[in-house]
Structure 1
Amino acid sequence: MSASEPTMLDAGHFTTLRITESVDRLHAQLDRPEVRNAIDATMITELHAVCAYLEQHPKVLILSGTESGGKGIFASGADIGQLRERRRADALRGVNSTAFDRLAKLPMPVIAALDGYALGGGAELAWAADFRLGTPEVKIGQPETGLGIIPAAGALWRLRELAGEGIAKEILLTGRILDAQESLQHGLLNAVHPAHELLDAAHALADRIAKQDPLAVRISKQVFSMPREAHPQIDNLAQAILFESEAKFDRMQAFLDRRDAKAAAAPEPTSGDDR
């Protein structure tokens, strides 16, 4: 890292995201409670800035919402006022889809901590994450067809990959809203936690990721997203890189040392004649 590169994200000018950063993770909190965290053009710009930073300084990203009217909320969807005015050229630019795709391709895992509503673009933002944790109050779905549009920021293909064709079509074509248990049942949530424990659970998950070798995590995420026809060749190439890493030798030697120390400390078995 050169002396000119920032070690922390300069988010002092952000107006829609609140940023908290540590050595191994960054927490971005959606912060437009007056409109239930509706995703507008400014938030998309700030998400791009977060992605640009994490592409250069790989860290786990935690996404969460805030409170609105005393209740937790992730994101109620895209800002309908702005969406109403968008035309063909805006759709072809992929305003939201480009940002969410960039987020999904970040080097390190992304954790979405969902409370309350995660609808429309808010749900699509969650689908782009690697992990989704929720509260019992979660309501998640894609109401776009009721507004005369489609969910064009990833739901039309990510939902089938995540939950299967049947439930994906119910969500996409009927506007069905799932609660926390239904989302958990269909694999759309990894776990459900009480609201007051949600962020602690997200950080605990980030702690577990942080215990792994960062390069192995990054390469695993990249290889996982490759098409089937790329395997097993891509796996072999990725493993070849990791087989030469210092972390591989250090971590495996540490494992062998712990095993040997445990074996040496174990009491020797006694024979039956000693009883």
Structure 2
Amino acid sequence: MNTLVVEEFADRVVVTLDRAKQRNAINTEMISELHEVCALIEHNPKLLLLTGQGDHFAGGADINELRARTREDALRGINRNLFDRIAALPLPTVAAICGYALGGGAELSYACDIRIASPNVLFGNPEPGLGIMAAAGASYRLPTLVGVSVAKQVLLGGRTLDADAALRSGLVVEIAEDPLAAAHALLDRVAKQAPLALKLTKKILDAPGSHPWADDIAQAVLFETDDKQRRMTAFLEKKK
């Protein structure tokens, strides 16, 4: 791939945005290659770790391309469809973020389930200053992640969130000097969990509204799995 470095391991796929000279700005080629990664993970579900090459996660979308986009391009939802696809991946996704996560880069990070940040991280959505809006998921993901008030401060008031503000608001789970190593450590813990339990939990968490019957049905499925029997037996024997 030309814009990504993709490493596939037994339990996870590590994807590094690889346009460091452009602060990993998200262009059409990167979007296409990220769709290829999604197809890979959808076919063979694994955990996803997303990070950026160099000093930044992603400084935004490619402005040269954005300037040339038309009404028809906007209606195709080019970035939004990709980020929605990433958000819908079957197993947990983690973003390890250094430096800038701005514009489309911020929205890409919002699409991940969990974010770990470096001390110098900066989240923001400056799109209105360029005459457009953050239309790749920020309007419905960011309020869920940080609350409506903080989301409005970012999306309407031009506020940026540094590491401490991102941690206080719940946007990131941890500030780490080496966010990539911390993300791997988190995924090491996640990888020990039952894959089907993770898939169903994520599916239900992401479903809108209250869904007690869905919880019951998912639990009924899990109660009948060999994995549940094996794990609970091992727990009880260890306890003895």
Which category describes the TM-score, using the shorter chain as reference length? Answer: over 0.9
Is residue 211 from structure 1 mapped to residue 198 from structure 2 by the alignment? Answer: no
CA distance in 1, matches of 2:53, 2:26: 13
Aligned to 1:259: 239
CA distance in 1, matches of 2:22, 2:236: 55
Q: Secondary structure at the match of 1:47?
A: helix
Query: How many angstroms does 1:175 deviate by?
Result: 1.4
User: How far apart are the structure 1 equivalents of 2:207 and 2:220?
Assistant: 17
Segments of structure 1 that go 5 or more residues without pairing to the other structure are 1-13, 261-275
* One of 31, 50, 58 as aligned partner of 1:44: 31
Would you identify which runs of 4 or more consecutive aligned residues in structure 1 move more than 4 Å?
Answer: none
Partner of 1:24: 11
Could you report, residue by residue, the CA deviation over 1:184-234 in whole angstroms, capped at 9, with x for unpaired residues? 11111110001xx221101001100011011111111001111224x1010
Cα shift at 1:172: 0.3
| Partner of residue 22, structure 2 | 35
1:234 to 210, 214, 220: 214
Two-structure CA RMSD over aligned residues (Å) = 0.7
Q: How many residues align?
A: 240
Amino acid at match of 1:169: K
**Cα displacement string for residues 39-81 of structure 1 (whole angstroms, at most 9, x for unaligned residues):** 00000001100001101111110000011xxxx1000000000
> Greater CA radius of gyration, 1 or 2?
1
- For residues 192 and 87 of structure 1, what CA distance do their matches in structure 2 show? 39
Q: Which residue of 2 aligns with 1:269?
A: none
Deviation at 1:148, TM superposition (A): 0.5
Partners in 2 of 1:249 and 1:219 — Cα distance? 17
Percent of residue pairs bearing the same amino acid type: 52
CA offsets 1:155-205 (integer angstroms, 9 cap, x no match): 0111111111111101001211111001111111110001xx221101001
Question: TM-score, normalised to structure 1's length?
Answer: 0.86
Of 190, 194, 206, the residue aligned with 1:225 is: 206
1:144 aligns with 2:127: yes
